[in-house]
Amino acid sequence: MFFDKFLSGVAVSLTRLAQAKKPDLIVFTHIPKTGGGSLTQIFRDNFPAEQIVDISQLKLREVPDSLAQSLLRQEIQRLDRSVRVIHGHVNFSYDVQRYLDRDCTSMTLLRDPVERVVSLYYFVRRLNNGNKIAAEIMQKNLSLDDFAHYETFQPMDNIQVRYLANSRGPDSNLQSCHRYLLEEAKANLIDRFDMFGVTEDFGSFAMRVCKDFNLAYDPSHRLNSSGRPPLEEISTETLEKIRQRNAFDLELWEFAKKHLVAA
């Protein structure tokens, strides 16, 4: 009887261990200016280049949806099983996981939308690589206040919600985000992502990822400093405009923080 109980206890322990162990393939949905560059650098520091795939290079948003899905399927299905990380500025709605033939650990980072937009502005204005937003900022000499009011920049309009929703929502940059996309993003964050964090507590999230995947981590290694001023030096009118245009992102960010505290 003792031996039977012992074996039963071992079986339960092994089952719990198997459930706790995360699949070793990481799929990282990288929302721009949320600290994803620093997380990706951790992956680069720990894995050979051939084991990391950046699907941003497919430029899926620049082609019709049917072609985008075909390109993504072909890219995913040709990957060697040695690949450990799939990452990129690619909306969750493209659903990378459905083309995989193995389990994965999906993760993402969110950020205070006001901080994200300010960082985005000061980051892209320094780019000299053909970036469309950077080119328009320079061509029209747009200030941060101009940028906050500029109606054609979708990255100014709840981009975190758009990235995490099931549907990409309105394709036109002139159309605003909708609450149904926010509700989709909330549900996906809880039901479809195995791990998520917030930029404001990046260190804790990075350490959790590194612990779960047995990766080395240097806390002093952060990337993509945009050389931006603190919020205290930005006009209240500009900050309020950014908040108004990113009300759904603010709600999603607060939602994520509450769930992280409760976890």
Other Cβ atoms closer than 10 A to 99 = 15
Q: How far apart are CA 256 and CA 184, in angstroms?
A: 13
Q: Quick one: three-class SS letters along the chain?
A: CHHHHHHHHHHHHHHHHHHHCCCCCEEEECCCCCCHHHHHHHHHHHCCHHHEEEHHHHCHHHCCHHHHHHHHHHHHHCCCCCCCEEEECCCHHHCHHHHCCCCCEEEEEECCHHHHHHHHHHHHCCCCCCCHHHHHHHHHCCCHHHHHHCCCCHHHCCHHHHHHCCCCCCCCCCCCCCHHHHHHHHHHHHHCCCEEEEHHHHHHHHHHHHHHHCCCCCCCCCCCCCCCCCHHHCCHHHHHHHHHHCHHHHHHHHHHHHHHHHC
Average pLDDT over the chain reads 84
pLDDT tens-place string over residues 210-258: 999 999 998 876 665 667 889 999 999 999 999 999 999 999 999 999 9
- Residue 26 pairs with which residues in a beta bridge? 85, 105
Measured CA distances, 16 to 25, 27, 28, 65 (Å)? 20, 23, 25, 41
pLDDT tens-place string over residues 25-45: 999 999 999 999 999 999 999
pLDDT tens-place string over residues 79-100: 999 999 999 998 888 889 989 9
pLDDT for 48 beyond 90: yes
Q: What is the mean pLDDT of residues 114-141?
A: 84
Comparison of pLDDT for 96 and 20, the residue scoring more: 96
Comparison of pLDDT for 209 and 16, the residue scoring more: 209
Q: What are the residue ranges spanned by the domains of the chain?
A: 22-262
CATH number belonging to domain 22-262: 3.40.50.300
pLDDT tens-place string over residues 148-159: 887 666 667 899
Q: How far apart are CA 18 and CA 16, in angstroms?
A: 5
pTM of the full predicted structure? 0.85
